[in-house]
Amino acid sequence: MTAEESVSASVDFYFDFSSPYGYIASHKIDALAAQYGRAVTWRPFLLGVAFKATGQTPLPQVPIKGDYARHDLQRSARFHGIPYRHPSRFPIATVAPARAFYWLNATEPARAKALARALYAAYFTADVDISSAENTVAVAAQAGFGADAARAGINDQAVKDLTRVEVEKALAIGVFGSPYIVVDGEPFWGQDRLDQVERWLATGGF
Amino acid sequence: MTAEESVSASVDFYFDFSSPYGYIASHKIDALAAQYGRAVTWRPFLLGVAFKATGQTPLPQVPIKGDYARHDLQRSARFHGIPYRHPSRFPIATVAPARAFYWLNATEPARAKALARALYAAYFTADVDISSAENTVAVAAQAGFGADAARAGINDQAVKDLTRVEVEKALAIGVFGSPYIVVDGEPFWGQDRLDQVERWLATGGF
């Protein structure tokens, strides 16, 4: 890669729609990258599939650590000044919102990001269970994307296939948690690595 | 607790001698707390015992995530400007250094901290396997504590009992990882929560 290509390469932002720390990072990553002239490619994946591959247990089910995590993720949202209401159902399967994202992303990545933000806000501030395809469609409709188009998009076999391929690609490069941010091949796991992401962007590595 | 007692209460710093992130935090926690007029009580515990209690797997053994962790902990040390050489044997059992610490701590907590820093430096910069009682004794001797006294301390039944009690107390309050920092009853897991620890100290909570 030449220096010029490196400067313009986008930052990859992998996240799961059920991940509170992914939600926190989604509020910060684009502005952070923009400071260094970089765009961000959003890449929702399915944490449940990644957990099976690595033999991990969802945080809420880990004794003691799960209780801490429930406390920490709400405190972390307050720390960063981001609205947060812990969902009644947590975690949830997120194939419906992932498909909704990839439905739009193929043609309009900027609108796909707007939809992703609306879905995250619905789940983490308004307690909407977006594991339901109809709830995901309703969020898309409320955000101006059209219920019928969104429903058709989620059910489109090509969108389903694209989503599966994207999840497989994420697993193939070793994405095991959310958020997972890749800058010029360097991986960073967790919203608490945004300080290192920033220095990597500023310095080209350390 | 009155406001005055609260101001003077020490910060609890739980760590395992085999924990790279505990090692990183050990370089920062006292100076951080001192900015807010607070002392730090160091409380080594045994992560292996905590992992059994919570059903966790040591990081290096977790597929994919373990490889990331090996990379991240060295990058995190560089990020914080802390010398780090990944030990040949990792992780290790740390009952010997924990006993050496509690041997001194009962009477001279400041010297116990100095010994803890020497043990951490031996393991994480000079590749000394401090799981060996004799290596721990050698580190203590080199740091000026006297080999015979250190050896006798580690083997003292009262010190062994005290160490076991301290580990049990840590588990009883829910310490599941290293570092684990408690400020006025509020728990923070990970060196990457020092930003939140600092704001908690500055503001009294958020």
Up-side HSE of residue A31: CA atoms within 13 Å toward CB? Answer: 5
Nearest to A78 among B67, B193, B206 (CB): B206
Separation between Cα atoms, residue A73 and residue A85, nearest integer Å: 10
Interface check B172 vs A, CB under 8 A: no
ipTM: 0.92
Distance from CA of B130 to the nearest CA of A (A): 28
pLDDT of residue B4: 45
pLDDT of residue B63: 87
Separation between Cα atoms, residue A47 and residue A178, nearest integer Å: 7
Structure-block tokens of residue B79: 């990020």
User: β-strand A40-44 against A11-15: which pairing, if any?
Assistant: parallel
The whole-chain average pLDDT of chain A stands at 94
pLDDT of residue A5: 47
Interface check B53 vs A, CB under 8 A: yes
Distance from CA of B147 to the nearest CA of A (A): 39
Q: Say whether A68 and B199 touch across the interface (CB within 8 A).
A: no
Residues B39-95: pLDDT tens digits?
Answer: 999 999 999 999 988 888 888 888 899 999 999 999 999 999 999 999 999 999 999
Q: Say whether A206 and B72 touch across the interface (CB within 8 A).
A: no
pTM of the predicted model, to two decimals?
0.94
List phi, psi (to 5°) of B2. Answer: -75, 165
Residue A197: is its pLDDT beyond 50? Answer: yes
Nearest to B79 among A68, A187, A196 (CB): A196
- Best of A21, A59, A72, A186 to substitute, by most chain B Cβ atoms within 10 angstroms, is A72
Chain A hits for B187, Cβ within 8 Å: 68, 71
Q: Say whether B62 and A79 touch across the interface (CB within 8 A).
A: no
Q: Say whether B206 and A53 touch across the interface (CB within 8 A).
A: no
Question: Which residues, in sequence order, are CB contacts of A144 under 8 Å at separation 6+?
Answer: none
pLDDT of residue A53: 84
Q: Say whether A65 and B192 touch across the interface (CB within 8 A).
A: no
Distance from CA of A138 to the nearest CA of B (A): 34
Note every long-range contact of B70-73, with CB atoms under 8 Å and residues 24 or more positions apart, other chains counting: B71/A187, B72/A188, B72/A189, B72/A193, B73/B20, B73/B21, B73/B24
Residues A30-89: pLDDT tens digits?
Answer: 999 999 999 999 999 999 999 988 888 888 888 899 999 999 999 999 999 999 999 999
Interface check B52 vs A, CB under 8 A: no
Residue B22: is its pLDDT beyond 80? Answer: yes
Nearest to A56 among B62, B76, B195 (CB): B62
Residues B24-52: pLDDT tens digits?
Answer: 999 999 999 999 999 999 999 999 999 98
- Residue in chain B lying closest to A196 (CA): B79
Contact B97, B136 (CB under 8 A): yes
Nearest to A62 among B56, B62, B78 (CB): B56
CA angle B155, B157, B162 (to 5 degrees): 105
Note every long-range contact of B40-43, with CB atoms under 8 Å and residues 24 or more positions apart, other chains counting: B40/B10, B40/B11, B40/B12, B40/B13, B41/B10, B41/B11, B41/B12, B41/B13, B41/B109, B42/B13, B42/B15, B42/B101, B42/B105, B42/B109, B42/B112, B42/B113, B42/B116, B43/B12, B43/B13, B43/B14, B43/B15, B43/B166, B43/B170
